[in-house]
Structure 1
C-alpha cells in the first residue's frame, strides 16, 4: 500500500501559490503560440534513440489518423520491429519503403550504396510531394548525406521548394550536415552517456531493432 507524506498547510499554500504563478506565465506564453506549419525535424548525435523517436512520431500520426510514410536509407535489410508493426498492422495509414541494403561496412560497395540512397531519395520526393501524406520519416538519411551519397544542398533545396506547407519531414541519423541543422525547424542531438555495447552486449530485439 502506498503511503502519502503529510504536507504542512503552510507548505501546501506556498506550493499552490508557486504553481498558480507558473500556470499564469505558461498560459500567457501559450496565447502567443498560434502558428501551425509543417516542420523539418532533425534527430542526430551519437546517442541511441534517433530512429526510435522518429518512429514514435509516426505512431502518433497513425493514432491521429494522419497518413504517413517511412523511407529507410540504411537499415533496409534489417528485419526490424518497426517494420513488422507498421507493415503488418498499419499499412493502410503508413507506407513503408526499405531502400537501404545495410551499413556501409556490410555492403562494402560504394556504388551500390550510392544507388540505393538515390533510389530512396527519389521515393522520398514522391512521398513528400503528396499533400495527403502528413509526415515522412527519412530514417538514417543523415548517414547518406554525411558520406556524400546524396547532395545535402539538393535535399535542402527540394524541401524548401516542394515540401507542402503542412507536411512534416523527419530526418534521422548521426552526423547531420550543419546546413541541414541550420535550416531545420526542430533539431535534437542525442548524447551518449552509457551504452551496453561497450560492455560486450549485442544489439537486442525490442531495444535496438
Structure 2
C-alpha cells in the first residue's frame, strides 16, 4: 500500500512515527528515513534510532536554502539509495518523512519517487510518504491519503518551537 500524510497542519511526522510503532507492534520489519532533517535534532530521532538501528536514517542537511541546492540534492540522493537498499533487503514497511518537501524543491525528481513507489509495490513493501502539497499524480497512486489541516497554531501569534512538541 501507498500511504500519504500531507497538509499544512502539524502532525505529519507524528503520524509517520505512529505508523512505524503500529507496524513494529505487529512484527513487521520497518525502515524509517527523513529527508531534509539532520540527525540528533528531534526527539523522535532518538527513539527511532534506538528502535530501528541501521533501519533509521536522518540524512538531511537541515533547512533548505536555494544557494545550497547541491548539498541538499546529494543528501536526498543518499537517503534514496539507503531506501532502495532497505526495499531490496525485504522490509515490510518503508517510511520516508518529508519526501514531498524534497520533491517540491527538486531535490527528488518525480521519476525517482515513481520508481520507488513501483519497487515497493513489486516487493510487497508498504510505503509511507509525508510532507506538504502532495501532487495530484501521487494522490491518484495512493491507497490512503490523510490531509492534516491546521486549525490553530501558536506560531500565528509569534510562538517559538518547543522541545518535545515541534522537535
Q: Same fold (TM over 0.5)?
A: yes
Matches within 5 A, 1:48-197: 48-88=10-50, 90-91=51-52, 95-105=55-65, 108-131=67-90, 133-161=91-119, 163-197=121-155
Q: Partners of 1:199 and 1:163 in 2: how far apart?
A: 43
CA contact (8 A) 1:50 1:190 kept: yes
Q: Which has the higher contact order (CA 8 A, sep 6+)?
A: 2
Q: Partners of 1:110 and 1:160 in 2: how far apart?
A: 27
Q: Partners of 1:81 and 1:203 in 2: how far apart?
A: 13
Q: Partners of 1:190 and 1:78 in 2: how far apart?
A: 25
C-alpha change, 1:162 and 1:84, in structure 2 (3 Å) is closer
Work out the number of aligned pairs and report it.
Answer: 167
**CA radius of gyration, larger in:** 1
Q: Partners of 1:50 and 1:122 in 2: how far apart?
A: 23
Where does structure 2 lack aligned partners over 5 or more consecutive residues? Answer: none
Shift in Å, 1:112: 0.7
Deviations 1:62-117 (A, max 9, x none): 222222111111112452111111223x236x711111011214x84011111111
Question: Which moved further from structure 2: 157-166 or 189-198?
Answer: 157-166
Where does structure 1 lack aligned partners over 5 or more consecutive residues? Answer: 1-38
